[in-house]
Structure 1
Amino acid sequence: MEVTVDVEPPHPFPAELQPDTVSALLDRRADEQPEAPGLVAVSQARTYRTLAFETWRLEAAQLAQVLAHDYGVRPQDRVAWMLGNSHGTEAMVVYHAVARLGAVNVPINNRLTPREIAHILGHSEARVLIATERERDTFGAALAGLPAPPATIVVDGAEGTALRGRTRQAAEAPARPVSPTDDLCLVYTSGTTGTPKGVLHTHGSALAAGLQWADAFRLTAGEALQSPFPIFGGGALHFNSLSALWAGAAFVLEDFDPADTLRLMASSGTSVYVAVPGVYQLVLNVSRPDPDRLRRVRILDYGGASMTPVLIEELRRTFPWAGLMQTYGLTEAGPGGIYLPEEYAVARLGSVGNRAMGRYTRFRVVHPDGTDVGPGETGEFILTGPSLMKEYYKDTAATRSALRDGWLWTGDIVRIDEAGFVYHVDRRKDLVVRGGYNISSVEVEAVLTQHPLVVEAAVVAKPHRVLGEDLKAFITVRPEDVPVDLDAIRAHCAASLADFKVPRDIEVVNDLPRNAAGKVLKRELRDRAAQAVDRPQASS
């Protein structure tokens, strides 16, 4: 049963801007720049394929016809898809086909376990699931536990072959009438309870994110934005692809291979590259750019973690002609947020930004009562604008907690200096951001404590040179004098959690530190983890 929340969207899509839906935007690009490259991504043929805007629209329109005719997809039906960057072409065609139908995309991380996938499919009430042969066993196990499983299309299986045959014969029909307030995309992100929350975005909120980041990047028609962000996340779908589409630039979706990144940048004429700091380190570890082939690169953007001084200096030596930009955003905001312009990359090292992503977004740093903090003080980062989510799907309490009087309360604790630069201090939300993936500490702790030897568990973030953050688990065991096989505990976690959620670093302790009320002091554990970050870990 669909449950909605009686919370009005904080801000409408700006009335003076057109197009105001994702389907209308692709139509505009196909009409105005039919032969210009719109998408560069790996297809199921395992090679990069370039789609001109007109071809992209045609394939999306034909797939939309088949989804409607053969699978009965109607407006506001949920269409789930498990397609990674190795099937980036198919993912972006599916995304726009669903948008043209007025239906709702439900992208799913293809590294999740059957339990996690089943939760998303059941919670979203997906009508159709589109996936690949490689995940057949995984999604098959997920479907087996659902009372009403969705119809399934395997793009590189027999169903996919038949589907391609039908789409080639389908007529190109116009998009169904859609408004900016219609639902577009349901992105599941880790929540503090351990159960992923469905962040629901409309056509208007997604577009508002894309157009404002296009402004921040100063993207123009004929340029290219390249990124290895996973396509099933809001960062790739809205931050990257819609900013490029709004500007009439190409979106280069990278199936990440550090040895191939620079070649792809050169062949695509990349102007803006977007990645987490660890990706830059991996690329520089294996290759060096040819300045003559990469002169079009003008912005190297990074988010998900702060860039280290050493890596910033290495990038400045390697790309002396390009600017370095820090961005900070949240899925609930579009993704939207703030950024640190290129001229401050060194002078304000450590700051996550001082400018809102675009002219329609505002931010503040506030006390718990909503009053602004003073210079040098810490408070919660909140922001407002048309890119904010519509709601947490089927979660009235969480929506009302996050969206208050038109502002998104992020749960992030920051400090703002006298010049308006923001510095990240801590998270109210119990999340670890590992290589760009949000991981709920509570979810990992719940799985750890299901092991028969583990009595208590506390999971925190620790610094990691490449990933930005990694997981550190502290556990107490019973009986205390029994040898603990940490590899067995990791294997136990791997049976229930996606691989990127499994803690590699597990430490057995006698007790967890607590305050007078008995609450675990995670700040103390984070400090301990940071101090021991270089200490070798035993496997048992």
Structure 2
Amino acid sequence: MHLTLGLHRAVRHEPSSVATFYEGRTHTFRQLADRVARLAGALRTIGVKTGDRVAILALNSDRYIEYYLAVWWAGAVVNPINTRWATPEILYSLDDSQSEVMFVDSAHKSKIDELREGSTTLEHIIYLDEEEKPNGTLSYEDLIEDGEPIEDSYRHGDDIAGIFYTGGTTGFPKGVMLSHTNIGVPAMTFLCEEYGFGSVSLHTAPLFHVAPLMYVIAQLFNGGRHIVLSGFEPAQVARAIEERKVTDVLLVPSMLHVLLDSPVVQKTNFSGLRRIWYGGSPIAETTQRRALEVFQPSGLVQLYGLTEIPVVALLSAAWHAPEMRKLRSTGRAAQENEIMIADANGREVPRGSIGEIVARGPNVMKGYWNKPVETETAIRNGWLWTGDAGYMDDDGFVFIADRFKDMIVTGGENVYAAEVENAIAKHPAVAACSVIGIPSHEWGESVHAVVVLKPGAREFTVEEIRHHCKDLIGGYKSPRSIEFKPSLPLSAFGKVVKDELRAPFWRDAIRKV
């Protein structure tokens, strides 16, 4: 399994077919392959060696896809950076991964000097846009024009394809090492789920995430067309689906919710849409039912996975029928996986009993970059422990009930409470704090802070605490709500009893995430 396979096949089978479309810019598969080979050659020229890490900080575009393919073609490892991170988080990922080269677009041009000065490893910055490049950077298009095309390195199998940073329980991000097999095999899941020939995929979810990347790889395997949007905006999405005859789109539940609420839905012809793939965070059953009504006859397919193990389970279109009574499920194990509901000792619990969801298969990560202890905790005897509590019914469908790890999933983004608590604790008025996830119809979960003030300190607003946090952590991690208490509930061992803080918000909920 090598992740450039789809491009090679498409060049042989459909060289003149459109591969990518972005804001009026179109490339065929033949052109795409030539650009990738030249960009890979340019990367080698500036010193990128086999196994080196190459970062990107950019919004979605056709060049983001070229970046992925060219880095792999050159034999290197991708490091896609979350565009919603604060500068300290970006610098941590650069230095921890020892990325010496980074691609940056115009939307993040203002960060270039700060990143260059703050990073201990960065040597080259490649500017993605065609406008005049900032001082000290290399032009993306010039590199392609001047680059000598090279042969594909054909890195494959267990070779590391990328390091994808996710939040950490200690407040420091963890770099998830995914191999070509780890990404390529679950991408095949899309193809197994009736990802038809001649499909046209819309890319609007951020390409720095693993799920949208797998969606790209699946479409490359399929030889289909990629329609790329820089971000999510309901009117643009609806227009692209109708005008570009999109057959498949991947959305996180918050995007699906916003799209359904947009008046543009009533004016758009969605008849060509075959599949809406969704996942990444909890979804309300009401949103599922509305989508089934609005987008008929489009099929809904739910994906459940983690950065550490992309696509654990899948709820196919057929099982979305309300009469099947599986809408609250995340589905059954994907074709390449096994799922078990385990007790603390790794033994399978009876059907219907709650335990931890564990999974194994060729998509389990190689481990956390430079974190062997955390790797040993997460992967035991080949099983990846997800940190999600759930149960399996007699038909093999998995239902998530709660979460063992102290993590909040909001709008498709993972937020570890420790990261937010560390940031809030730096506020001069804060004596103690605890962060929990509370229900949100729009975002799945919302970040909520419970704060104890120092004696004499005044209460502050959500806006004030978000402003305090913005230079330390990404904006999506900052609290959306806050409450002040004279003290936090503590266990006999002095640990905050978060269940007591969460209880008023989740008391009537069927599931606790």
Match of 2:165 among 175, 188, 196: 188
> Which residue is equivalent to 2:65?
92
- C-alpha change, 1:277 and 1:95, in structure 2 (3 Å) is same
Q: How far 1:307 moved relative to its partner? A: 3.1
> Which residue is equivalent to 2:293?
317
> Which residue is equivalent to 1:462?
438
Match of 1:76 among 40, 51, 74: 51
> Which residue is equivalent to 1:397?
373
Which range moved further: 50-59 or 99-108? 50-59
Q: How far 1:98 moved relative to its partner? A: 0.3
CA contact (8 A) 1:298 1:321 kept: yes
Tell whether 2:92 aligns with 1:116.
no
- C-alpha change, 1:73 and 1:161, in structure 2 (3 Å) is closer
- Indicate the SS of the match to 1:158: coil
Match of 2:471 among 495, 500, 503: 495
Tell whether 2:74 aligns with 1:101.
yes
- C-alpha change, 1:314 and 1:147, in structure 2 (3 Å) is closer
Match of 1:366 among 342, 348, 363: 342
- C-alpha change, 1:133 and 1:301, in structure 2 (3 Å) is closer
> Which residue is equivalent to 2:457?
482
Tell whether 2:4 aligns with 1:23.
yes
TM-score (ref. length: structure 2): 0.92
Q: Which runs of 5+ in 2 are unaligned?
A: none
CA contact (8 A) 1:327 1:352 kept: no
Q: Counterparts of 2:326 and 2:502 in 1: how far apart (Å)?
A: 22
- C-alpha change, 1:162 and 1:152, in structure 2 (3 Å) is closer
Tell whether 2:364 aligns with 1:383.
no
> Which residue is equivalent to 1:39?
20
Q: Which amino acid aligns with 2:227?
A: V
> Which residue is equivalent to 1:242?
217
Q: Which runs of 5+ in 1 are unaligned?
A: 1-19, 42-46, 534-540
CA contact (8 A) 2:303 2:314 kept: yes
Q: Counterparts of 1:99 and 1:440 in 2: how far apart (Å)?
A: 30
Q: Which amino acid aligns with 1:121?
A: L
Q: Counterparts of 1:48 and 1:197 in 2: how far apart (Å)?
A: 37
1:60-459 superposed matches below 5 A: 60-69=36-45, 71-85=46-60, 88-156=61-129, 157-158=132-133, 162-216=139-193, 218-238=194-214, 240-254=215-229, 255-289=231-265, 293-333=269-309, 335-345=310-320, 346=322, 347-358=324-335, 360-459=336-435
TM-score (ref. length: structure 1): 0.88
Deviation track 1:387-445 (CA, whole Å, cap 9, x = no partner) reads 11111011101111111111111111112223322111111222111111111110000
> Which residue is equivalent to 1:44?
none
> Which residue is equivalent to 1:528?
504
Q: Which amino acid aligns with 1:99?
A: W
Q: Which amino acid aligns with 1:253?
A: V
Q: Counterparts of 1:490 and 1:289 in 2: how far apart (Å)?
A: 33
- C-alpha change, 1:128 and 1:292, in structure 2 (3 Å) is closer
- Indicate the SS of the match to 1:259: helix
CA contact (8 A) 1:269 1:297 kept: yes
- C-alpha change, 1:133 and 1:270, in structure 2 (3 Å) is closer
Which range moved further: 197-206 or 138-147? 138-147
Q: Counterparts of 2:469 and 2:71 in 1: how far apart (Å)?
A: 35
> Which residue is equivalent to 2:483?
507
CA contact (8 A) 1:61 1:174 kept: yes
Q: Counterparts of 1:433 and 1:84 in 2: how far apart (Å)?
A: 21
Q: Counterparts of 2:275 and 2:139 in 1: how far apart (Å)?
A: 42
CA contact (8 A) 1:328 1:352 kept: no
Q: Counterparts of 2:171 and 2:255 in 1: how far apart (Å)?
A: 27
Q: Counterparts of 1:145 and 1:527 in 2: how far apart (Å)?
A: 42
- Indicate the SS of the match to 1:484: coil
Deviation track 1:136-174 (CA, whole Å, cap 9, x = no partner) reads 333432332333433212223426774413412434322
CA contact (8 A) 1:301 1:326 kept: yes
CA RMSD, Structure 1 to Structure 2 (Å): 2.2
Q: Counterparts of 2:283 and 2:386 in 1: how far apart (Å)?
A: 22
Q: Counterparts of 1:129 and 1:292 in 2: how far apart (Å)?
A: 39
Q: Counterparts of 2:342 and 2:78 in 1: how far apart (Å)?
A: 34
- Indicate the SS of the match to 1:516: coil
Q: Which amino acid aligns with 1:98?
A: V
Q: Counterparts of 2:35 and 2:244 in 1: how far apart (Å)?
A: 22
Q: Counterparts of 2:430 and 2:71 in 1: how far apart (Å)?
A: 45
Q: Counterparts of 1:154 and 1:162 in 2: how far apart (Å)?
A: 5
Q: How far 1:224 moved relative to its partner? A: 2.1
- Indicate the SS of the match to 1:194: coil
